[in-house]
Amino acid sequence: MSTAARLIGLDWGTSSMRAYLYDADGKVVATRHQPWGIRNLPEGGFAGALRAITADWPACVAVAAGMVGSRQGWREVPYVALPADAASIAHGMLRVDDCSSHALWIAPGLQRHQPADVMRGEETQIIGALAQQPLYQANSRFVLPGTHSKWASVVDGRIVAFDTVMTGEMYALLIKHSILGAGLPGEPAQPFAHDAFSRGVLTAKESGAEGVFSRLFSTRALMLAGELAAAHVPDFLSGLLIGEEFRIARSRDDDGISPLCLIGEASLCQRYTLAARSFGYAAPTVIDDAAVQGLWQLASAAGLLAKARLHSFSGATTP
């Protein structure tokens, strides 16, 4: 392995972890992935997982972000309050004292007090996306689709607000445990039903102030009436729920529509791109993996890259 290696970055979530090895210029020279999230650790726990995924890599300074810093993680790292940028997030990083294999630092998440909300891991992706797309620093909105979708507002390079929408979890509950999922075909999954999805998005848009909960049962009614094929119900429901995210967002766009940047898996971002178009947004920029750049940015802001060059790892608890 190259002696020029300078940093190890860890995107460590609930169900999996991804490790990156960076050279002195911030280029990723190796990547590894394991299903060792904080709920599914191998023998040896957190320390064993870190040693295994970095086996034969240089003992660089390591920076981790995600649920590894939660109450159920390796070390709980307190949230940082809004507004927040790379410097304030880096200042909140804590070192894991009982990690003997690396000088390991864990990034904090962010906390919004009114209304109450938190994120852990997505802030690192946003920092990475801002580094890749500096034009979005002035005034933009970042959308991170998923089980708990995040909508974050950025002004002058700082995350000033965010909201969590439980779209993915709500979709799974409705499909698996409600009448809306009754009588649907099983696996294998059907091809994406573009028209059904778009119809769901439009239904959410037209719900107005009533919102999507007033339209959910239309999923069942349309199927019973023969107007919606059973195989297309999942995509119609997906359109309804994603459309609701955009309906809420548009209701808050009093001062104009901020540019959108999507961060996430390509096929899921495709759905959000279609919904964005229906709600009058310009085509969003899509970034698949922003955490890799975000981890490097946080390490740099914390001064950890200089420590890596000097191979002098202090026992301090803050950068």
Residue 201 and residue 147 share a domain:
no
Residue 173 and residue 86 share a domain:
no
**275 part of a folded domain:** no
**283 part of a folded domain:** no
Share of the chain above pLDDT 90, in %: 85
Domain CATH for 111: 3.30.420.300
Q: What is the pLDDT of residues 140-173, one digit of tens each?
A: 999 999 999 999 999 999 999 999 999 999 999 9
Query: What domain range is 49 assigned to?
Result: 5-163+290-310
Q: What is the pLDDT of residues 73-83, one digit of tens each?
A: 999 999 999 99
Q: Tokens 């972000």, residue? A: 65
Residue 184 and residue 146 share a domain:
no
Residue 10 and residue 65 share a domain:
yes
What confidence score (pLDDT) does residue 306 get?
A: 77
Region 98-122: mean pLDDT is: 96
When divided into structural domains, the chain yields a total of 2
Domain CATH for 176: 3.30.420.310
Q: Pairing mode, if any, of strands 5-12 and 61-65?
A: parallel
| The dihedral sign for the CA sequence 100, 101, 103, 107 | negative
Helix, strand, coil percentages, rounded to 5, for the chain? 40, 20, 40
Confidence check: pLDDT of 190 > 80? no
Burial group, residue 267, by CB count within 10 angstroms (0-12, 13-18, 19+): exposed
Residue 295 and residue 194 share a domain:
no
Residue 189 and residue 202 share a domain:
yes
Residue 15 and residue 75 share a domain:
yes
What confidence score (pLDDT) does residue 288 get?
A: 85
**76 part of a folded domain:** yes
**285 part of a folded domain:** no
Average pLDDT, the chain: 92
Residue 233 and residue 95 share a domain:
no
Higher confidence at residue 315 or residue 34? 34
Residue 185 and residue 145 share a domain:
no
Confidence check: pLDDT of 271 > 90? yes
**61 part of a folded domain:** yes
Predicted confidence band at 309 (pLDDT cuts at 50, 70, 90)?
low
Residue 245 and residue 208 share a domain:
yes
DSSP notation for 122-175 = HHHHHHHHHHH-GGGGSEEEEEE-STTEEEEEEETTEEEEEEEE-HHHHHHHHH
**20 part of a folded domain:** yes
Strands, E, within 13-119: which ranges? 17-23, 28-34, 61-65, 80-81, 94-95, 104-106, 110-112, 117-119
**122 part of a folded domain:** yes
Read off the pTM. Answer: 0.91
**271 part of a folded domain:** no
Residue 234 and residue 191 share a domain:
yes
Residue 137 and residue 170 share a domain:
no
Q: How far apart are CA 171 and CA 162, in angstroms?
A: 21
Q: How far apart are CA 219 and CA 172, in angstroms?
A: 15
Predicted confidence band at 95 (pLDDT cuts at 50, 70, 90)?
very high
